[in-house]
Structure 1
Amino acid sequence: MSTQCVKCEEGKAIILVGTNGSFCKECFLKYFTHKFRAALGKHPVVRYDDKVAVAFSGGLNSSAMLHVLLESLSPLSFKRLKFHPGIIFVDETVLLPEEKNYEIYLNEIESIMKASGLPYHIVKLEKILSISDDTVIENNDDTAQTCNLRELFDSIKSITSKQELLYRLRCKLLTYKAKELGYQHIFLGETSSRLAINILSNIAQGQGAHLSLDTGFTDNGRYLGINLLRPLRDIGAKEIAVYTNINKIQSVFLPNFSTKVPATSSIQRLTEDFIVSLTSDFPATETTVYRTSNKLEMMKNSKKEENKDTNENCFLCCGPLDTQIKEGNASALQAIEFTENLSNGIFGTAENPHLPHDLKSTSKLPQSDSGDDYCETQEKTMVNLCHSCKILHKDVNTEVNFDPIFEHLFKNSSKVTNEEMRKQLEDVLLDC
């Protein structure tokens, strides 16, 4: 690394930023702020006088984002931002009841939010089960919801599925709370380092069709029309660490499912270990991987055009369904489902087979001999899930019926399907 700043050519360099060269302290702070504001300027989603919620977790990313946001909103700032920010924190204590220091962490986080001077709101994760409609979170007793949500996560077999479900529920709860409070946008603290990890781990989990929504600057308001924005997507984890160290920004680390577990415990953890180790020798790895998501915009538009007649979204992740294949088109997904059902003996045995006439029916669950409502509910749920969320749903322990919980999570955040809408209006429709 050069000892001289490439910007001012006078100061002593303190950090090497990718291929941009080495920066001194003052130039780096200007560079960091410029990257944050440039992301908002390149994607003019936030308008004048909009209300924006900051998804605050207490970690380095969200703490740095909150600090640079406050700097950009200052009256002394050049071309200061002119929108109204607030803070939303999701309390996930329900998932780690054995953590003794969680209360101390929560108090520290609340003190940070209070010191910012912005309006802040704390919502518990179990409130996701207390939502009566798209805009109201009921203030009822959390005891039952706490037990149900904890039991649901305890029944999930792998840490991979636990982390994925937690991310989806967190996004949904943030949008519910934001809509209730009147916010139009939510800032997420996902950096280029985190997005590079998410891209590879999402592909490994079968979420390739939704990469542009999960890693782009905006998710196009797929959750209740509230935009999830990523203003730090052009900034790496190393830059975040240096920025927080220079400004002495207080942050709080909250333990989660991947804390103190081996790298092979989950797909997300293994991908993170792979990216971090590779980046140590090849610094451009993160940028190369995460910029791939920008090139998937054309694929997303093509998929939207293909499904414009159905316009169906997954009930869990709210992304476009990738399981609807046009007549006559070959599908690797259908082949995978057929092979899986064949291996599980759903189509009988070699001596007594009962294969379907086409592959389209292979995704349906077999009906039980008793004809109970459970299989019908399961089949209806699976049909309305994308490929990745189907895998997650299958990872839930089937010995206990958790479908009422899943149905509650689905029905409040999903759009009404064309078939359901027709059933609701069939009494007033005129036959032609």
Structure 2
Amino acid sequence: MACSSGTCQSGCYRDENSVDEDGRKEGQVAANGDGSNHVSPRRGGVNAPGVCLKCKINETIAVTHPAVSGAGGEGGRFCADCFRSNLFGKFRFAVTSNAMISPSDNVLVAFSGGSASRVALQFVHEMQQKAQKNFDASRERQRVLPVFGVGVAYIDEITMYAEVSSEFDKATSEMELIVSNLSPPAKQFFIIPTESVFSPDLAVGRDSLTRLGDAVSDLTGKEDLIKHLRMLCLQKAALDNGYTKIVLGTCTSRIACHVLEATVKGQGFSLAADIQYIDARWKVPVVLPLRDCLSEELNMLCSLDSLKTVEASQQARAGINGLISSFVKLLQEENPSRESTIVRTAGKLTPFSFNRTPEVGDHNDRLASKRRQKKYNLKPDESQSPESFCLVCNSPLKKTDVSSLNGFTLKETSADMYAAACSSCQYQILPKDTSSMEQFLSLLPQSISDSHMFLREQIQDLLLSDSDDGT
């Protein structure tokens, strides 16, 4: 979380002539209660040991809370109040500069029970609470922007794991209690079983989900498939309940792991799509307001503010993903800036056309979006556009990948499927035996099957028939 006066976006650094809470300029002599004088330290001088680098008044976290003073040394630099304001400043800047949440939005926060999603929920709640106070204090409410709504969703993935956790009911009850204990406005809490994307009948959906999981033998492929099903669940819940944005607690640490994972799996072309603040390739756009925050910072905030987290039925990462996660953790221990460096380097990739806020909403929303772009000097969209998306994971595909379908007929379903999937899904999820492709297709959720049929209709004009082969 280190920053400098030239680059800090959260407003934590003050001018040399700024005043402190007592109305004094920095460096001005003031009288203590006992009649003695002291000089408040000036920025740029030697900071007293154990004194916050920002406010230069309070003791650092390392002194007041030594048990939670990790986070790559931040506990020895900032007090609890300044640490929290800096972290919220990152979140607020990401939201405002990228027009993530508009007054007319109804956002769904994905909540897993961990520290990242817990902080995301807390910060979104505080933004909503402030907007509600401003609305209530206004005398002319018809001229005031509305207050955005908030819902919370937990994806129940217990069916995909061999061992059923006996603590699941307790964990979900604790999550529901966390949401209900938030001050008004009230927020609806959803528990969404993964099998619900297969069928409204959960028994039927559970059977389909189990058979699909058994059909994928690769550990990395199975974990990636669960991740995609999780997004389908969030999309379904958002569409069914009228939510317009999905908020994920994805942070710098998780993105750093994903950068290396995607590189190893051969997903370099689609990597830029997954690491931006906004992902509007889905029907309900997905936003990442904690993109600039480290997981250690989020853990520390939960400890400092007593934000309760819940240990739900989450399994340790496996396969390539598990190896990369351990590798990045080791890098971070050796150098606390490694995760940020990985993300900054990947951030130089050109984003796609869907990595921006869609031009939708009422007139006030569009005006607010334009004001934000002007305020933060955002350049017009000059990003690339994909030709199509992978039928399994929805990753953007190169034009050359789609054009390879020109040599197939509609009867060759297995060939169509392989060509319409990214290389990672081809090697890790799809069956190697082409004779089992039809059976595998029947196990996929209806939303994926519909996309497959839609693609086949799209490419029908491109495919050569026996009468048009030029012979």
The residue type equivalent to 1:237 in the other structure is: S
Mapped partners of 2:132, 2:84: distance in 1: 13
Task: Report whether the alignment pairs 1:52 with 2:104.
Answer: no
Question: Aligned partners of 2:103 and 2:220: how far apart in 1?
Answer: 40
Task: Tell me what 1:96 maps to.
Answer: 161
The alpha carbon displacement at 1:323 in A equals 6.2
Deviation of the 1:361 alpha carbon: 8.1
Tell me the distance in 1 between the aligned counterparts of 2:194 and 2:297.
Answer: 30
Task: Quote how far apart the aligned CAs of 1:65 are.
Answer: 1.2
Alpha carbons of structure 1 residues 16 and 251: separation in structure 2 relative to 1, 3 Å: closer
8 A Cα contact 2:218 2:429, kept in partner:
no
* Superposed displacement of residue 290, structure 1: 1.1
Relative to 1, partners in 2 of residues 1:109 and 1:17: Cα closer, same or farther, differing over 3 Å? closer
1:141 Cα offset (Å) = 2.0
- Among 234, 258, 265, which residue is 2:292 paired with? 234
- Residue 294 of structure 1 is aligned with which of 342, 347, 350? 347
One-letter code of the match for 2:395? G
- Comparing 173-182 with 227-236, which one deviates more in the overlay? 173-182
Which residue is equivalent to 2:118?
63
Q: How far is the alpha carbon of 1:208 from its aligned partner?
A: 1.2
Moved more, 290-299 or 188-197: 290-299
AA aligned opposite 1:5: C
Unpaired segments ≥5 residues, structure 1: 131-139, 260-264, 328-359, 368-372, 424-432
Task: Name the amino acid aligned to 2:214.
Answer: D
Q: CA RMSD in A?
A: 3.3
Higher mean displacement: 60-69 or 90-99: 90-99
Describe the shift of the 1:237–1:77 C-alpha distance in structure 2 as closer, same or farther (beyond 3 A).
farther
SS in 2 for 1:160: helix
Matched, 1:210 2:257: no
Q: Cα deviation per residue 1:312-338 (whole Å; 9 max; x = unaligned)?
A: 2222222321362599xxxxxxxxxxx
CA distance in 2, matches of 1:399, 1:422: 23
Kept in 1: contact 2:159–2:210 (CA 8 A):
yes
Q: Which amino acid aligns with 2:155?
A: V
User: Which residue does the alignment assign to 1:314?
Assistant: 390
Task: Note closer, same or farther for the CA distance 1:415–1:196 as it changes in structure 2 (3 Å cut).
Answer: farther
Which residue, 426, 431, 434 being the options, matches 1:390? 426
Tell me, what secondary structure is at the counterpart of 1:126? helix
Whole-Å separation in 2 of the counterparts to 1:66 and 1:112: 10
Alpha-carbon distance change, 57 to 413 in structure 1, aligned in 2, over 3 angstroms: farther
**Number of positions where the alignment pairs a residue of Structure 1 with one of Structure 2:** 363
Distance in 1 between the 2:334 and 2:98 partners? 32
Name the residue aligned to 1:11.
Answer: 58
Q: Answer with 1 or 2: which has the greater Rg.
A: 2
For 1:135, the equivalent position in structure 2 comes to none
* 1:222 partner letter: R
Deviation at 1:193, TM superposition (A): 0.6
Q: Tell me, which stretches of 5 or more residues in structure 2 are unaligned? A: 1-46, 62-68, 136-145, 354-380, 462-471
1:17-416 aligned within 5 A: 22-75=77-130, 82-96=147-161, 98-99=163-164, 100-116=166-182, 117-130=186-199, 140-219=200-279, 221-224=280-283, 226-258=284-316, 265-297=318-350, 304=384, 311-322=387-398, 324=400, 376-394=412-430, 401-406=439-444, 408-412=446-450, 416=454
Partner of 2:108, secondary structure, is strand
Counterpart AA for 1:379: A
Q: TM-score, normalised on structure 1?
A: 0.75
> 2:273·2:352 contact (CA, 8 Å) conserved in 1?
no
Give the distance between the partners of 2:453 and 2:402, measured in 1 at CA: 22
Tell whether the 8 Å contact from 2:131 to 2:147 is kept in structure 1 after alignment.
no
TM-score, normalization by structure 2: 0.69
Contact 2:392 2:448 in 1 (8 A): yes
